[in-house]
Amino acid sequence: MCIPSLVFCSDYTGHLSLTSGGLITDQKFSNAFNIDNKYEIGLSFDVKKKSWPISIAFDSSFLYAESETSENQYNVAVNKKVSFIRSDTCLGVKKIFNFSTFIKPFVSSGAYFVRIYGELSDNREIATGFGYWIGAGVYFDLSKNLTCGFLWKMSKADLNIFDVQSNVGGNHFSLTTGFHF
């Protein structure tokens, strides 16, 4: 029998983890704004009924990055302070392979939504984009409910900010820690 909360149902299984890692964005975005490496934190969640072959996956992350622009081919003003706050949401599916009770690799894919707020000197812009993501990783189940792992995602979403059209997704590399049920 299931109590009202799905998370504690004996018919469901899943993971809830905090993520922390880096993002390497598209070369055009990095060159235009002189921002190469960005660090992000987030949340990763998946849930499925035990009889389902795949899980519903939800990831969300946030990052803040700042720099000073340098000479570039994108007509972005030189020697100006630039900063970005980015949030993204990934919604899709995840296939977890239960090869052992301790190590559980997975693959995932789905829709990618991104919103970015940028400041370039005194100019401010907000832009949104929609695209896709694919990912892979591994969970290490440490105890009955504790888990940690690695997550890689590649995301793509084109948007225009400060007259630079580019992919603000990229390669995400994260460590995860959380619990499984």
Cβ-contact 67, 89 below 8 angstroms: no
73 to 13, 38, 44, 102: CA distances (angstroms): 50, 22, 37, 50
The DSSP letter of residue 8 is G
Residue showing tokens 């299931």: 2
Q: Six-digit token pair at 178?
A: 């959380």
| pTM metric for this prediction | 0.86
| HSE-up (13 A, CA, CB side) for residue 49 | 3
Sketch out the chain's domains with CATH numbers: 6-180 (2.40.160.20)
Res 2 pLDDT > 90 = no
CA angle 81, 21, 120 (to 5 degrees): 15
CA nearest neighbour of 152 among 179, 167, 171: 171
Q: What is the pLDDT of residues 118-153, one digit of tens each?
A: 999 889 999 999 999 999 999 999 988 999 999 999
pLDDT tens by residue, 6-44:
445 679 999 999 999 999 888 888 888 888 778 999 999
* Rounded Cα distance, 20 and 130, in Å: 23
Q: What are the structure tokens assigned to 83, written together? A: 């900063």
More confident residue, 59 or 168: 59
Q: How far apart are CA 19 and CA 155, in angstroms?
A: 16
Contact 181, 14 (CB under 8 A): yes
Chain position carrying tokens 């059209």: 165
